[in-house]
Amino acid sequence: ESLNTMSMMEYNGSAIVAMAGDGCVGIAADTRHGIRQLQTVGCNRQKTFQMTDQTFVGLAGLGTDVQTMSQLLDFRLKLYNLREERTMEPKTVGNLISHMLYEKRFGPYFTEPVVAGLDKNHKPFMCAFDFIGAMSQAEDFVVSGTSSEQLFGVCESFWRPGMDKDELFETLSQCLLSAVDRDCLAGWGGVVHIITPTEITTKRLKGRMD
């Protein structure tokens, strides 16, 4: 079997979704670390990373590249903070990721990132990328990982405008749990971060297999 791009993306499995509320934004991911469908190695793999006090990045794809990308991003953001003496806006984090991925397009990182954050006006910003850095922005939700199709389906049904942080948490959690139940490559628990102008709330979810 040839390990083409798609099977590299599916090797460890992942489900990531970011969703906008009213003056808040959330990002959720499953926690399974698996080897194809054959084996679940662990149930606490980190796929979402806090980049600034108002921005999270979710990284779907190959586990090793997820680790590399998160460390590289962390480094680039700290460098920016030192040079500019200010925190990077979510949109700038998105542009940085796009640049980093496209730079390596001939030997790409097998990861499809999602950015979720609040800008300086407390407006939600969300975007997703393919593995060579093409950005797609959305006002409602963005998804990534092997559960993308399932996530699109439930998010289309359940998302609505004007949700407060509690409604957003509930919707995001249900969307993630419903989607991973239809994908054997993802699941085994989840984690949800809700970002508001004043705080970040993180909650863990128990999935069907936990």
Is the pLDDT assigned to residue 71 strictly greater than 80?
yes
95: left (phi over 0), alpha (psi -120 to 50) or beta: alpha
For residues 142 and 140, give the distance between their C-alpha atoms in angstroms, rounded to a whole number. 7
Q: What is the pTM of this model?
A: 0.89
Mean pLDDT, residues 165-176 taken together = 93
| pLDDT at residue 115 greater than cutoff 60 | yes
- Lowest-pLDDT range, 9-23, 46-60, 113-127? 9-23
Judged against a pLDDT cut of 80, whether residue 26 lies above it is answered with yes
Task: Record the tokens describing residue 1, joined without a space.
Answer: 């079997």
Residue 3 has pLDDT above 60, yes or no: no
> How much is the CA Rg of the chain, to the nearest whole Å?
16
> Residue 188's pLDDT band (boundaries 50, 70, 90)?
confident
In sequence order, the 6+-apart residues with CB closer than 8 A to the CB of 28 are: 16, 17, 18, 19, 48, 172, 173, 175, 176, 190, 191, 192, 193, 205
Lowest mean pLDDT among 38-47, 79-88, 184-193: 38-47
- Residue 38 pLDDT class (50, 70, 90 cuts): confident
Task: Write down the pLDDT at residue 88.
Answer: 93
Domains of the chain by residue range: 8-205
For the domain 8-205, what is the CATH code? Answer: 3.60.20.10
Q: Is 179 helix (H, G, I), strand (E, B) or coil?
A: helix
Please name the residues in contact with 174: beta carbons below 8 A apart, sequence gap of 6 or more.
Answer: 154, 158
Pairing of strands 39-42, 48-52: unpaired
Q: In this structure, are strands 124-129 and 135-138 parallel, antiparallel, or unpaired?
A: antiparallel
> Is pLDDT at 42 greater than 90 in this prediction?
no
More confident residue, 50 or 34: 50
- What's the CA gap between 163 and 167, in Å, rounded? 5
The mean pLDDT value of the chain amounts to 89
State residue 210's pLDDT score: 56
Which pLDDT band holds residue 207 (cuts at 50, 70, 90)?
confident
pLDDT band per the 50, 70, 90 thresholds, residue 6: low
Checking if the pLDDT of 34 tops 80, the result is no
Adjacent-strand bridge partners of 119 = none
User: Is residue 5 scored above 70 in pLDDT?
Assistant: no
Which residue type, as a one-letter code, is found at position 161? P
CA gap 207, 50 in Å, rounded: 23
Name the band, by pLDDT with cuts 50, 70 and 90, for residue 1: very low
Report the amino acid identity of residue 31. Answer: T
CA 28 to mean position of chain CA atoms: 7
Q: Vertex 100, ends 200 and 179: CA angle to 5°?
A: 50
| Nearby residues of 200 by Cβ (< 8 Å), 6 or more positions away | 50, 53, 193, 194
